Structures are given as C-alpha cells and as structure tokens.
Amino acid sequence: DATPSQPSTVVSLRTREEARQLWQQHESSTRTLSASLCEHLRLILAPTQATKMRGDFRTGKRLNMRRILPYIASDYKKDKIWLRRAKPSKRQYHVILAVDDSKSMAEGSCSDLALETVALVAKALSSLEVGSIAVVSFGESIDVVHPFDKPFTSDSGVEAFQRFSFSQTKTDVRWMVEKSLTLFETARNNAVGSQAELWQLEIVISDGVCEDHDTVRRLVRKAMEQRVMLVFVIVDSVRKDSILKLESVKFGADGQIKMERYLDTFPFGYYLVVKDVRELPTVLAGALRQWFAESVDAGGV
Amino acid sequence: MDTTPSTSQVQVKFVTHEAEIAVNPAPILVPSNLKRFGLSQVVNHLLSPTSPIPFDFVIDGSFLRTSLDSYIADNGLTSESIITLEYVRAAVPPKYLSSF
Ligand SMILES: [Mg+2]
C-alpha cells in the first residue's frame, strides 16, 4: 500500500454537514435582506445611465453647438448636428469579501452574526451576476476561501463556512490589504475587455479592532491609486461595548499620556458601523452610492 | 521589511472594589508593553486625583509583575481578548514600614 498523498493542509473546522446546516440556516435567515441588498446594488452598479452625450447624428437629444456654423455654411447640408446619449458600456466587477476570522469576532457574543453577514453579502453579490467574487478570511494568516475564477454557489458558501473559525490569534489587516491588492492585480491581468470598465471593490467585514493604522493608511492610499475601492464594515454588535466609544491610550515622546478616540485614527476612509445586520443593506448601499458618485465626479467613468 | 513596528495594543478594562477611585469600566486600548507603572499612570490619568496614587494590578487573582505582553504570552492568552485588570492601591513598600 503506497503512502497516500497528504491531504491539503487546509483545516476544516466544521464537518461538511455542520457547515451545510449553518449555511442553510444563515442563508434562509438573511434571504429577504440579501434580496434587498442585491436590488440596491443592482441600481448602483448596473450601468443604467449612459454617461456622456456623443455626436454626430441627424436626430438626437441635444444640439452639438460646434456643428451649427458648418451646418449653416454648408447650406444646411451637413446636418449631423445632434448629440445622443452614448450606449452604456458593460462594466465588469471584481469584488473581494474579506472576513475577519480573528478571535475577537467571537469574543463578545457569537460568531453567528459574522457568518450571517457573510451569507447576506456573498449571496447578494452572487445573485447580482455582475462579475466575479472572491472570499478571503483574515486573522493571523490570510486564506482565499473562494477564488475569483469559480462562480459562487451554495456549495461555495458551505465550503467557506467550513473554513471560518473565528479563533485566529491576530488581526493582521495590513497583510490582508496587501494580499487583496495582489489578488486584484492578478484578476486585472487575467481580465478580458477594457481595463477602464473594470471596477474592483473590497468589502471588509470585521469588528474593526486592528493595529498599525499608519501602515494600513498608506496601503489604503495605494489601493486608491490602483482604483481599488475599500469599504470597511464594522460589525459593532459583536462587541459588548461599542467601538464608537473605544478610546486608545498613547504615550508621547515626553512620556505624557494622550487619549484619543480609536476611530479618529481609523485608516479606512469608507467605514460603516453597523449595529444590526438588518442595517447592512441600506448602509452598505449608501456607501457604495457615494463612492460611485465620487468616482464619476473624479472622471473615473 | 524595514518598517518599524508600531507598539502593539491590547484592550483592557480597569475595575476596582473601591467606589471612590473607580473609573469607567469600558475597554480601552493601551500599549501592550506596559507594566505596573505604566498602567498606574494610565489609571491616574483617567482619575486625575489631586496627588498621584500608585496602583497595583491583579489579573486572574495574581499581581501583575511583568508587562502585559509577557503576561499574555505566558498565560496562553491573545491580544484578541479584553483583559480585565483589577487595581488596588499599591501596598506601602516595606522599607517605610521598618522605619516606624
Ligand atoms: Mg480581532
């Protein structure tokens, strides 16, 4: 009997059956919310509005003023003087759902809430069918629980649930952002079609307590330069005491004690504090809408 | 990597049995390399008493004699947990007692 090849080093924390039951439970408890989030996102992400007026047509919506003089000069022959709304182009999305798998997520209450959030967001994104979705877990290490190149199905949900333990002993947000940027880069290189129509978005689900804010802030800036949008969802209800009130003690160089609100140095520009999973669809949609508005203003479209 | 590691932090709760020196028991983040003296400074900062009070700290029934970091490592804890620190007025050092 030959030595069997070692199974994958990935540790399953739940049996497949346990994970399946959990996934089904959370998928069904969040069904309505997920449908609602999906509808919100559909309105935001789908390119329903054509962005620019383009010419030159014989009929249209608005006159192209630059064509008026030649029109008259040509004795009304050059009559392609109208602008029309350009056809909306097909956008492509890459979305990473990054879920904090550290122990603090299960400290206050139950990890059920985190799993519920995963089911809600993953389901909404996958039924949206606008692009590829990846799921990563982070803590001390970062694991791709679901890769970009596979469609996200109920089985993916079950597999993902097998991999979350909420027992990792660190919350390395910096490494998570770095790794995510690499994943996005690879996905971008593999993508077909126009890079300009490729939108990359990461939704982080966490209790929000992480270290090394300065380094993380630099990475968040790098993400912006690479046109990767980061939305940090703080699931505050996993904590007994709200993160809004959390204070941080620093010792200055002179040995003086300085107290600051923890969130005042929080490195993510777009963060949401969610008390209840039921708030998530509206709140997340609001943040994404704002991001899109700003991207359009900045000429990102 | 040549990045300088910033000080790690850990969430602690300061509790005491003496009502008149009690501070808000909500968790706060403190540098995890703090020892008794640093923690005593923090509680004094929160209390701002007229004159500083030296405190001793009790975790799980024993006095903290190392840094929080070492305590966490030695006791199989992680910085993911909130540590409850009970503080008591530090005992008067024996050298003063002997002069009476
Ligand atoms: Mg954590």
DSSP letters of A213-263? HHHHHHHHHHHHHTTEEEEEEEEGGGSSS-GGG-EEEEE-TTS-EEEEEGG
Query: From the CA of B74, how many Å to the nearest CA of chain A?
Result: 14
A155 & A72 share domain: no
**Weakest-pLDDT range from A78-92, A122-136, B52-66:** A78-92
A180 & A212 share domain: yes
**Weakest-pLDDT range from A190-199, A227-236, B6-15, B32-41:** A190-199
How many domains does chain A contain in total? Answer: 2
- Outline where chain B has alpha helix (H): 36-47, 68-74, 94-98
As a whole number of angstroms, the distance between CA B15 and CA B39 comes to 12
> Can you tell me the ipTM of this complex?
0.85
A66 & A207 share domain: no
pLDDT of residue A49 exceeding 60, the answer is no
As a whole number of angstroms, the distance between CA A193 and CA A177 comes to 25
Return the number of other C-beta atoms located less than 10 Å from residue A209's C-beta: 25
B31 touches chain A (CB under 8 A): yes
DSSP letters of A140-167? SSEEEEE-TTS---HHHHHHHHHH--S-
Nearest residue, CB atoms, A169 vs list B29, B31, B78: B78
- Say whether A245 and B79 touch across the interface (CB within 8 A): no
Residue A1 counted as domain residue: no
Residue A4 counted as domain residue: no
A209 touches chain B (CB under 8 A): yes
A59 & A169 share domain: no
> A101: nearest CA in chain B?
B80
Q: H-helix or E-strand containing A199?
A: strand A198-206
Give the tens place of pLDDT for each residue, B17-53: 999 999 999 999 999 999 999 999 999 999 998 999 9
Residue A240 counted as domain residue: yes
A160 & A279 share domain: yes
Residue A11 counted as domain residue: no
CB pairs under 8 A between A and B: 56
Looking at the structure, give the CATH architecture of the domain made up of residues B9-98: Roll (3.10)
The predicted pLDDT at position A128 comes to 80
CATH for A142: 3.40.50.410
Mean pLDDT in chain A? 84
Contact B29, B59 (CB under 8 A): no
Q: Which of residues 81-120 of A touch B (CB under 8 A)?
A: 102-104, 107
| CB neighbour class for A57 (10 Å; exposed up to 12, middle 13-18, buried from 19) | middle
Phi and psi at residue B50, in whole multiples of 5°? -60, -40
Residue A6 counted as domain residue: no
Nearest residue, CB atoms, A104 vs list B28, B45, B80: B80
- Give the best residue of A175, A211, A246 to mutate against chain B (max B CB count within 10 A): A211
Domain range spanning residue A108? 16-46+89-297
> Among A208, A22, A10, A17, which Cα is nearest to A107's?
A208
Residues of B in contact with A261 (CB under 8 A): none
A228 & A160 share domain: yes
pLDDT of residue B92 exceeding 70, the answer is no
A227 & A175 share domain: yes
Residue A51, sorted as left (phi over 0), alpha (psi -120 to 50) or beta, turns out to be alpha
Taking each helix axis from N to C end, the angle separating A112-128 and A16-29, rounded to the nearest 10 degrees, works out to 70
Query: From the CA of A153, how many Å to the nearest CA of chain B?
Result: 32
As a whole number of angstroms, the distance between CA A129 and CA A114 comes to 23
A234 & A282 share domain: yes
- Say whether B41 and A107 touch across the interface (CB within 8 A): no
The predicted pLDDT at position A162 comes to 92
Residue A2 counted as domain residue: no
3-class state of residue A138 by DSSP: strand
**Weakest-pLDDT range from A16-30, A220-234, A269-283:** A269-283
pLDDT of residue A164 exceeding 80, the answer is yes
DSSP label at residue A60: -
pLDDT, average across residues A5-34: 79
Out of A85, A101, A132, a domain closes at: A85
A28 & A151 share domain: yes
A104 & A60 share domain: no
| pTM for this model (two decimals) | 0.81
> Among A131, A222, A104, A116, which Cα is nearest to B83's?
A104
CA B71 to each of CA A101, A223, B42, B58: distance values in angstroms, whole numbers, following the listed order:
24, 37, 18, 11
Query: From the CA of B100, how many Å to the nearest CA of chain A?
Result: 35
Nearest residue, CB atoms, A246 vs list B3, B29, B81: B29
Tell me how far the alpha carbon of residue A208 lies from the centroid of ligand 1, in angstroms.
Answer: 7
Three-state secondary structure string covering A75-135: CCCCCCCEEEECCCCCCEEEEEEEEECEHHHHCCCCCHHHHHHHHHHHHHHHHHCCEEEEE
A20 & A142 share domain: yes
pLDDT of residue A88 exceeding 80, the answer is no
Q: Across chain B, which distance is largest between two alpha carbons, in Å?
A: 57
